[in-house]
Amino acid sequence: MKIIPYLDYDKKGLFADREFSEEHYISLYKDKTYVSDYRHALFLMVNDVKNNQMMGRINTYQKIALPEGMKLPVDLSSREDFVPLADRVTTTGKVKIAMLGGFGPAYGDNICGVTAYKILLEELSKYFDEFKVDIFHVQSNKFREFYSRYGIEIFQEPLGLEQFCGYDYYYDITAINSISGYHMRSIVDSFLWMFSLDFQTIEKSKKRNQYLFSNKNEELVNRIKSQGRVGSKVLFHPDSVQDCRNLPMAISHKIIAEILEKTDYDVFTVSDIEYESPRFFNVKELSKMFDDFAMIISLMDKIVTVDTASYHLADAFSLPTMVVFTNAGEGRIADYPQAQGYVIDPNFLEELEDIRASSLGQDKEYEILNNRMAEVWAKLNCSKIVDFLLATE
């Protein structure tokens, strides 16, 4: 039996700008048996690509006749149903744990992932005398340097079946966005759920993010400090990787106009926005890498953003932040004391949650998000943003 990682033909364009290709994975891993799964990206196929016989998730390996001497590690992950870690541990002492999937393809998820991982290590010490966790990430090249700043080593997924069977336990956290309530709680809490840890018993202070820079961009710092007034800089960030979270340009212009008219704040952005005002500064050319974006945020006084990495960074720098939500709830910022959420249309979000909990599946959710966002954005009340800026002075 041959098992080959295979890139799904993603009709929704979720991976259009990422470093995945069918040819790349097939040429690297054909004729070998691998353990690999990444939601929406890699699937397991039997024999070859042409026969189109797909295997499911990691638990499919329970049906494989393993070579003599091999034994599958124990799954510690909670998915649809939460089972406490204490009920999953079968052996203590010195153990090795594999973590499959990394913490997602986006920086925001990985920033939260580092936070959750630190909590996990502390909790694992209660169950094992000695343990080692190896993180296998589909995009290890993209995030390896980022993780190294925190003293964490990551490895390229997939891993071989023989290597996989050398572990005592494993976590498969690739299905995080399909667990119940994912869109209504913080990303850190969702990771803790997947780790089989009761997130409600973890101190909120431990869930605060941290961001470490590789180096300080002095030119960027000086440029930002030379623009606008001290104590009056607000970053307006209307862009996200999901279209349903992106503010339309007309509404972005309206928000900028309201802020400039009704507050004393100068508005900065790194987005493709043209706006004529001596108090509006587009500094997109300074944001060449994610570190630059993080540095710009650290130099602001306040943040107004849609649901994307910016508010996870803002928490790391303890900045007052207004987060505009469309398809997720205010629970996303429950652990961020200086963040305030604004769900544009609570009824729309409730409808989405009903669909997510039903048998209609993601296709119905995508259909609604594609067809009704103009209706949702039309309900945005700019005064909510202005009131936030004035109330946090």
Instruction: Indicate if 180 and 225 belong to the same structural domain.
Output: no
* DSSP-derived 3-state class of residue 49: coil
CATH label of the domain that carries residue 300: 3.40.50
Q: Would you call 219 exposed, middle or buried from its count of C-beta atoms within 10 A (0-12, 13-18, 19+)?
A: exposed
- Picking from 172, 207, 242, the residue at the C-terminal end of a domain is 207
Residues 6 or more apart whose Cβ sits within 8 Å of residue 233: 224, 265, 266, 268, 299, 300, 301, 302
Q: What is the rounded distance in angstroms from the CA atom of residue 362 to the CA atom of residue 258?
A: 36
Give just the sign of the alpha carbon dihedral 142, 193, 3, 161. positive
Instruction: Indicate if 329 and 376 belong to the same structural domain.
Output: yes
pTM equals: 0.85
Q: What is the pLDDT of residues 45-66, one digit of tens each?
A: 222 233 333 322 333 344 455 6
Q: What is the pLDDT of residue 63?
A: 47
Q: What is the rounded distance in angstroms from the CA atom of residue 227 to the CA atom of residue 281?
A: 8
Give the C-alpha distances (Å, rounded to integers) separating 199 from 69, 165, 182, 203.
37, 29, 13, 8
Considering only CA atoms, which of 38, 154, 165, 163 is closest in space to residue 6? 38
Q: What is the pLDDT of residue 164?
A: 81
Buried b (16+ CB within 10 A) or exposed e, 50-88: eeeeebeebeebeeeeeeeeeebbebbbbbeeeeebeee
Instruction: Give the residue carrying structure tokens 């007309």.
Output: 250
Instruction: Indicate if 132 and 277 belong to the same structural domain.
Output: no
Q: What is the pLDDT of residue 275?
A: 96
- Picking from 207, 227, 257, the residue at the C-terminal end of a domain is 207
Q: What is the pLDDT of residue 42?
A: 35
Instruction: Indicate if 124 and 156 belong to the same structural domain.
Output: yes
Q: What is the pLDDT of residue 320?
A: 98
Question: Do residues 333 and 310 make contact, with C-beta atoms less than 8 angstroms apart?
Answer: no
DSSP state of 202: S
Q: What is the pLDDT of residues 314-330, one digit of tens each?
A: 999 999 999 999 999 99
Domain that holds residue 30: 3-207
Segments in 22-160 forming alpha helices (H): 22-29, 107-124, 140-148
State both tokens at 303. 């943040």
Q: How many domains does the chain have?
A: 2
Q: What is the pLDDT of residue 235?
A: 98
Question: Do residues 21 and 64 make contact, with C-beta atoms less than 8 angstroms apart?
Answer: no
Instruction: Indicate if 31 and 77 belong to the same structural domain.
Output: yes
Q: What is the pLDDT of residue 385?
A: 97
Q: What is the rounded distance in angstroms from the CA atom of residue 268 to the CA atom of residue 233?
A: 7
Q: What is the pLDDT of residue 105?
A: 80
> Across the 393 residues of the chain, what is the mean pLDDT of every consecutive 10-residue run?
34 34 44 41 31 33 62 87 94 91 87 97 96 88 94 82 85 80 95 96 97 94 96 96 92 97 98 96 96 98 98 98 97 97 97 88 84 95 97 88
Q: What is the pLDDT of residue 177?
A: 77
Instruction: Indicate if 292 and 252 belong to the same structural domain.
Output: yes
Q: What is the pLDDT of residue 198?
A: 97
- Picking from 173, 207, 241, the residue at the C-terminal end of a domain is 207
| Count of alpha carbons within 13 angstroms of residue 239, beta-carbon side | 8
Q: Is 78 a member of any domain? A: yes
